[in-house]
Amino acid sequence: MTSGRRAVVTGGAGYIGSHVVLALVEAGWDVVVVDDLSTGRREAVPPMVTFVHGDVGDCSTIEAAMARHRPHAVLHFAGSIVVTESVADPLKYYRNNTAASRTVIEAANAFAVKVFIFSSTAAVYGAPDGIAVAEDAPTEPINPYGRSKLFTEMILRDVAAVTPMRYVALRYFNVAGADPKGRAGQTSPGSTHLIKVACEAALGVRADLEIYGDDYPTPDGTCVRDFIHVSDLADAHVLAIEYLLGGGENAVLNCGYGHGWSVKTVVEIIRCVAGVPFEVRIKGRRPGDPPSLVADPSKIRSRLGWRPKHDDLRFIVESALAWERTQLISRGG
C-alpha cells in the first residue's frame, strides 16, 4: 500500500537510481522514473513504477513529467559519472550534469516541489589532506566531473535561499555491491568501477584487471577509497526525504563508512571470494584520481540517524559477484 506521496526520480533506471527506487517503493512511495536509457536499463524499473522515457535536460520533457505527476519530492541522479571521460570531454559533463541539473531544479521549483535530493560526489573535495574528509573541508575538485557536481550544489544553495525548496545533497564516496535480494545491480556499459570490473575479470568476462598507478603516497602504493554498499546508500536517500519533510534544514552530507581500502586489498578480497587468481596489470596513473578519499560520516549519522547495514567489504564483494553471475547466466555465459 502506498502513502499517497509521489517522487520523481531522474536516472532511476541506472545503477544507484534503481536501488533508490526499490527503497522508495518499500517505504510506500509512488515513484515516477524519468530516464533516457543512455546508460540505464528499462528492465531495472519495477512494474509498479511509472516510467517516462526522456532526457531530463530537455525542458519540455521534465516539465511535462512534473505537470502530470505533481511530485512531493524530486531525487536527481541523471548525469555522467566517469572521471577520465570528464577530463577528455568536459563540455559533455557541464551539459549532462550542470546544465541538465539546472533544468530539473527549475522545473521542480516551477511546480512547487519543496523536497529535492541531489546525487553529488566526494569528487568535489579533490585531493584532500588528512585521512577522513568532513563536509566543511575545502571543495577543490581536480576534474570536470567534480566541478560539474559542485556547480549544481551551488545552484541548489542559491535557489533554496529564495524559494520554499529545501534540499539535501549527498556526496557519495565509492558506491559498490548489488541489491542483496538480487533485484538490481550495476549494468552500466563501459563501467570503470573497481569492484564491478574486478568481478568481471574473476568471472572471465574481462581478460584481466588493470590497476592505474601503484606509486601513490599510500601504504601499498595504490589508491585508497571508502566503499559503501549501494543499498545502504539507497536507505540514506529515503531518510533524507523524511528529514526534509520533518522540517530539516538544507544539508550537504557525506555518504561513506569512514574507512578506506586500497585497490590491491580490494583485489585480493575479490580473488579470495571468487576463488579465482585472475590476472592484474599495473598501468600508469589516470588523470583526475586523488590518492586517498575517505569520508567522515559523523554528520549523516547524527542528522539523518543513518545506520548502515552492510559495512563489510566482503559482503559488498559477495553481493557484486552474485549479481555479475546472474548477468553472465542471462547472457548465456
Residues 37, 16 share a domain? yes
Cell of 273: 571470494
Candidates 145, 167, 243, 257; catalytic one:
145
Of 237, 255, 273, at which residue does a domain stop? 255
Position 182 in a domain: no
Residues 310, 233 share a domain? no
Write down the pLDDT at residue 332.
67
Residues 244, 293 share a domain? no
Residues 165, 122 share a domain? yes
Position 188 in a domain: no
Count of domains forming the chain = 2
Determine whether 15 is an active site residue.
no
CATH number (domain holding residue 89):
3.40.50.720
Position 132 in a domain: yes
* Maximum Cα interatomic distance, the chain, rounded to a whole number of Å: 57
Reported pTM: 0.95
Give the mean pLDDT per block of 10 residues along the chain (333 residues): 84 97 97 96 96 97 97 97 92 98 98 98 89 94 96 98 98 96 86 91 93 94 97 98 97 97 97 93 88 96 97 97 89 64
- Distances from the Cα of 311 to the Cαs of 1, 141, 316, in angstroms? 30, 27, 8
Residues 280, 172 share a domain? no
Position 189 in a domain: no
Write down the pLDDT at residue 218.
93
Write down the pLDDT at residue 1.
47
Residues 170, 25 share a domain? yes
257 within 8 A of 186, measured Cβ to Cβ: no
Residues 319, 205 share a domain? yes
Q: Strand 209-212 and strand 251-255: pairing?
A: unpaired
Residues 249, 314 share a domain? no
- Distances from the Cα of 318 to the Cαs of 157, 266, 269, in angstroms? 38, 12, 10
Of 214, 238, 255, at which residue does a domain stop? 255
CATH number (domain holding residue 301):
3.90.25.10
Residues 245, 112 share a domain? yes
Position 181 in a domain: no
252 within 8 A of 169, measured Cβ to Cβ: yes
Residues 318, 237 share a domain? no
14 within 8 A of 44, measured Cβ to Cβ: yes
Residues 231, 221 share a domain? no
Position 23 in a domain: yes
Residues 325, 232 share a domain? no
Position 108 in a domain: yes
Q: Which amino acid is at 316?
A: I
Write down the pLDDT at residue 192.
82
Domain range enclosing 248: 6-176+226-255
